[in-house]
């Protein structure tokens, strides 16, 4: 608790009844349809100082004004409230700092100045960010690049409402890069793609190390969320004498001398076990 406590106004005389005499409507009273308003749960705001559990002591705000005096704003979660962003987060965390919110401090979202209400709507039972179909639109407000990528030819089913950002990311902060839900990138991807986990007899080392060596997560102009097209993608690492070395050009299109090393699945027409093979004869990933 910070220096905001040093010169606090008094609490209102009658708590929520004081507030509700002036404030009404769904955007205010929606709180009563949420868990926050269950007074029988001792941890909720309405088991404590009611509205002022979150907005802070409101005696000044609700008090009588002298002629010409401007009404002081509520301390927190209000336009021109005197409490800063860090303190607003501390108000929420005073009850909620457990589970996934343990690593908030020092996280990217914390450093960028976000608060809980940057994403969450509290005075409604239908918080969009808690809904699989609506969550992405909240995240896309800031993550504009990812929003554009979600409309590309190959993408995870975000646009169709079958996946939410939080299936891969933990927006309250983790200790890894990109706030992933699992310890590493590959552990996160393999949650849903466990068939690629191996270990295989013949491993494709970049696949075992980092899915992002070949794939992008949010959207690509190429199938299977690939960074680039084969054969050039494969030729970034494979240069052996013979077909891996050869430039595939427009001569190898259907109207020329069509090539199996270019068309269809390109390299994967033969080397189709790109994530690894467990076949004793699968060293070149073709069995």
Q: Binding to another protein (CB under 8 A): which residues in 238-267? A: 238-242, 245-251, 253-256, 258-260, 262-266
Residues β-bridged to residue 180: 169
Which one of the spans 15-23, 66-74, 116-124 is the region binding another protein (CB under 8 A)? 15-23
User: From CA 280, how far away is CA 189, in angstroms rounded?
Assistant: 27
Beta partners for 202? 277
Residue 165, Cα to own-chain centre: how many angstroms?
A: 4
- Residue 150 CB, nearest distance to another protein (Å)? 9
Interactions with another protein, residue window 71-110 (CB under 8 A):
79, 90-91, 94-95, 97-99, 102-103, 105-106
**Interaction of residue 21 with another protein, rule CB under 8 A:** yes
- Site stretch for another protein (CB under 8 A), options 47-55, 64-72, 115-123: 47-55
Task: Name which of residues 204 to 223 contact another protein (CB under 8 A).
Answer: 205-206, 208-210, 213, 221-222
68 touches another protein by CB under 8 A: no
The reply to whether 47 sits near another protein by the rule CB under 8 A is: yes
Q: Binding of another protein at residue 141 (CB under 8 A)?
A: yes
Nearer to another protein, 44 or 121 (CB): 44
User: Minimum Å distance from CB 81 to another protein?
Assistant: 13
Q: Is 268 in the site for another protein (CB under 8 A)?
A: yes
* 90 three-class SS: helix
Count of positions on this chain that bind another protein (CB under 8 A): 136
The CA-CA-CA angle for residues 72, 76, 78, to 5°, reads: 65
- Residues in Cβ contact with 282 at an 8 Å cutoff, skipping those fewer than 6 apart: 201, 202, 273
- Verify binding: residue 113, another protein, rule CB under 8 A: yes
E strand or H helix that includes residue 20? helix 16-20
Count the residues in the chain.
Answer: 287
Closest residue by Cα to residue 112 from 134, 138, 142: 142
Which of residues 135 and 277 has its CB atom nearest to another protein in the complex?
A: 277
Residue 260's alpha-carbon distances to 223, 239, 268, 271, in angstroms, are: 18, 17, 10, 12
């Amino acid at each position: 608790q910070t220096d905001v406590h040093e010169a606090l106004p008094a609490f209102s005389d009658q708590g929520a009844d004081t507030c509700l005499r002036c404030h009404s409507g769904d955007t205010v009273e929606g709180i009563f349809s949420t868990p926050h308003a269950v007074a029988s749960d001792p941890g909720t705001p309405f088991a404590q100082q009611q509205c002022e559990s979150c907005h802070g002591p409101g005696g000044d705000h609700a008090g009588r004004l002298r002629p010409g005096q401007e009404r002081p704003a509520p301390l927190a979660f209000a336009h021109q409230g005197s409490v800063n962003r860090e303190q607003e987060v501390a108000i929420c965390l005073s009850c909620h700092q457990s589970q996934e919110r343990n690593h908030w401090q020092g996280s990217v979202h914390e450093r960028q100045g976000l608060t809980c209400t940057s994403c969450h709507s509290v005075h409604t039972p239908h918080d969009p960010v808690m809904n699989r179909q609506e969550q992405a639109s909240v995240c896309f407000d800031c993550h504009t690049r990812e929003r554009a990528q979600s409309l590309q030819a190959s993408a995870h089913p975000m646009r169709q409402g079958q996946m939410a950002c939080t299936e891969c990311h933990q927006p309250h902060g983790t200790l890894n890069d990109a706030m992933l839900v699992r310890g590493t990138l590959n552990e996160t991807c393999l949650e849903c793609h466990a068939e690629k986990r191996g270990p295989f007899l013949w491993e494709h080392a970049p696949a075992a190390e980092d899915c992002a060596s070949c794939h992008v997560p949010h959207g690509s102009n190429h199938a299977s969320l690939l960074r680039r097209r084969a054969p050039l993608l494969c030729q970034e690492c494979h240069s052996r004498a013979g077909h891996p070395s050869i430039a595939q050009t427009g001569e190898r299109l259907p109207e020329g001398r069509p090539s199996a090393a270019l068309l269809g699945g390109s390299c994967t027409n033969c080397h189709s076990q790109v994530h690894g093979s467990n076949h004793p004869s699968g060293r070149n990933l073709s069995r």
